[in-house]
A and B are shown apart, each in its own frame.
Chain A
Amino acid sequence: AQSVTQLGSHVSVSEGALVLLRCNYSSSVPPYLFWYVQYPNQGLQLLLKYTTGATLVKGINGFEAEFKKSETSFHLTKPSAHMSDAAEYFCAVSEGRSSASKIIFGSGTRLSIRP
């Protein structure tokens, strides 16, 4: 079964600084990979996804992630943090390669932005 590890339950950066949220998955077969964002008291919103093709994926709000098969990683980055980026971020991986595959979530990383 797939598993997802998010390194760091809480990350704090200054406004304008680089955001880096780390995610590693367990499968040796390239899975489908996702990042979701959750703002306080809301549901999860898809930030970006990797299925096939280009390994650098761009998402909403200036975020991007790079699929690195050799490192089994899918880290999320943003060049310059905004106060509005403060939220919880979840990395997720599909157990298969169809739209009906179960999606397994990491435990989440809470991102705080310092003024």
Chain B
Amino acid sequence: NAGVTQTPKFQVLKTGQSMTLQCAQDMNHEYMSWYRQDPGMGLRLIHYSVGAGITDQGEVPNGYNVSRSTTEDFPLRLLSAAPSQTSVYFCASSGDRDYGYTFGSGTRLTVV
């Protein structure tokens, strides 16, 4: 099925560990983004990309890195996990003539 695929769905990390959240889309969308969702705070933009090789920071970029080597993939890297990064992470993509995002099903991350 076409769409946005996120892996893993669940992850528990220890403080200081690093990991990569994977995001892939098969709709040839140019625009991709990462959000985190926390109770009562809606979705906050972490990083986004308007095309392969181009990334930029959103509202809450600290502690996260991204890269966009292909149109399909947009991984999010946590460099040194902290308890404050416990959250649900969503990847989303948008096409050239399609306003509005298609979202992945999310990754629930717990940092202990």
Contacts and interface: CB of A to CB of B under 8 A. Distances in A.
Interface residues of A, number: 22
Given A44-B90, A99-B94, A100-B31, A105 B43 contact: yes
Contacts of A112: none
A51 B105 contact: no
Interface size class of B (residues with CB under 8 A): 20 to 34
Interface string A84-108: 0000001000100001101111111
A100 B58 contact: no
B42 A103 contact: no
A32 B41 CA distance: 21
A103 B101 contact: yes
A102 B97 contact: no
Given A42-B105, A46-B101, A107-B42, A99 B96 contact: yes
Contacts of B40: 9, 107-108
Interface of A: 9, 32, 34, 36, 42-46, 49, 51, 90, 94, 99-100, 102-108
